[in-house]
Amino acid sequence: MVKETTNIRSKSKDVTFQKKPQGFLQFLRKRNPYLFAHHPDHPAFRDHVWVFHGLFLCKGCTVTFAGMIFGGLLYLPTRWLEWFSDVQIGFIFLALLLPTPIATLLPLPRIAKHVARFLLGILMTSALVMLFITNSWPVRLAIVFTYLAIKIPLKRKRQHDNETLITQYTHSSRRKSAPMKN
């Protein structure tokens, strides 16, 4: 952007150059394009991220976040958690949770993992709401215990799988010509 100013004393025109303000996405793209992708900047993880306007987004986290938004938007107008007993909600939560460990432990297609992550997002929002609307401390403790009992082993498995993937990629013949998948 060029700004032209007039100097009254010398009757000359000074031209000053100002930086064009950059947008938020441009700032993030320049500063850290991997901000929303916790996977290493490694070709072995190219199918684990989507590229959106130069930003790298973890597919699993993005789908989980979309499920969380959907879960919140589902709960706000309907208040569906108040329709059921604590036991019924426990079974609903179990049904929303089971696809995640199944999709993690079995070699299923990527779309099955996305569906499991979306359901996990709905569960996360619903469980968070349930912590505040229930009067039962055992239900609250069950929610927190289940979260920790699932999260810790799956995190360890994911770290192991990531290390294995990097090792396999490093020793494979396709490392020099790995195409970018989106």
Q: Is the pLDDT of residue 105 over 60?
A: yes
* Angstrom distances, CA of residue 114 to CA of 104, 119, 142: 11, 9, 26
DSSP H or E stretch at residue 18:
none
pLDDT in tens, 39-75: 767 777 777 788 777 778 888 889 999 999 999 999 9
CA distance 35 to 49: 12
Cut 0.75: pTM above it:
no
CA distance 177 to 62: 27
The 3 state secondary structure assigned to 17-42 is ECCCCCCHHHHHHHHCCCCECCCCCC
DSSP 106: S
φ, ψ dihedrals at 37, nearest 5°: -130, 105
Q: Tell me which of 81 and 34 has the higher pLDDT.
A: 81
Q: Is 155 left (phi over 0), alpha (psi -120 to 50) or beta?
A: alpha
pLDDT in tens, 147-175: 888 888 878 877 887 788 778 777 665 54
In this prediction, residue 56 carries a pLDDT of 80
Q: Which residue has the tokens 């072995």?
A: 44
Q: Is the pLDDT of residue 83 over 70?
A: yes
Cross-strand pairs, 6:
13
